Amino acid sequence: MDTIYGKHVHVLDAANFHAHASRYREVLLDIGAGDGRYTLHTARRRPECHAIGLDACADGLRKSSRTAPPNALYLVANALALPKELANIASHVTINFPWGSLLSALLDTDQALAAGLRAVTRPGATLEIRLNMGALAEIGCPPEAARDQVRRTLWNAGFSEMRTCSLGATELRTFPTTWAKRLAYGRDPRGLLLWANRARKHRHEPLTTRYASIESLRGQQGVYYAPKGAA
């Protein structure tokens, strides 16, 4: 796998990666990490958690990787072709405000993405996806349709217990990513949060999604998302 530290990209072999990751009981995988800010925030606030940021663009990760603590790792890889070394590694996955091919894959029930999410997560892992309502409007996808299409992708990946809620300017302002801040202070400060759990045994039951309040979801995602004092 290609890992980045500042200006330098290095190859990290599977043995060294697993030796390092095995020191941590919890592993966060932030897919489509962008500038790596969320990964950095988590690593600093949760030294007992291994925080991994993954993005296809190395340039965006340079600044955050340069100041990252030992429990953070930045990987340069395609979200639609996740490295096989990440198999069964993640206890928690985030996809924050995707765009381009990653957003299209979520909305198109892409089998490669579903297989990748299933491969990298442990049974019982949680997943959070935050969508930009403005980006959905630009491609002509209503929020309700986006919710249904994403939940089908997650269902195909082995996730269940899906819940969703809207994010307003208040929630966006306190969420530690650059895109969340841009949305919060932009013309259309709206987002959509989808939360799901990787089933320990995938059951053949009706595909359903519950609407939850932001307060109830905060209780579940509080391990990784601290609305106060965000970095």
Question: How many domains in the chain?
Answer: 1
Query: Is residue 90 in a domain?
Result: yes
Tell me how far apart the terminal alpha carbons of the chain are, to the nearest angstrom.
28
Query: Is residue 226 in a domain?
Result: no
Query: Is residue 95 in a domain?
Result: yes
Predicted pLDDT of residue 161: 82
Query: Is residue 119 in a domain?
Result: yes
Residue 48 above 80 pLDDT? yes
Per-residue pLDDT tens for 79-94? Answer: 999 999 999 999 999 9
More confident residue, 87 or 211: 87
H or E element, residue 163:
strand 159-167
Query: Is residue 147 in a domain?
Result: yes
Which domain range does residue 133 map to? 2-221
Which CATH number fits the domain that encloses residue 115?
Answer: 3.40.50.150
Query: Is residue 151 in a domain?
Result: yes
CB 96 within 8 Å of CB 38:
yes
Query: Is residue 109 in a domain?
Result: yes
CB 127 within 8 Å of CB 93:
yes
Nearest to 214 by CA among 230, 190, 197: 190
Q: How far apart are CA 66 and CA 6, in angstroms?
A: 4
Per-residue pLDDT tens for 134-159? Answer: 889 888 999 899 999 998 999 989 99
Query: Is residue 230 in a domain?
Result: no
Residue 211 above 80 pLDDT? no
Q: 3-state class of 125 per DSSP?
A: strand
Indicate the burial class of 217 (C-beta count within 10 angstroms; 0-12, 13-18, 19 or more). Answer: buried
| For range 39-50, the mean pLDDT | 96
What band does 227 get if pLDDT is binned at 50, 70 and 90? very low
pTM equals 0.87
What band does 160 get if pLDDT is binned at 50, 70 and 90? confident
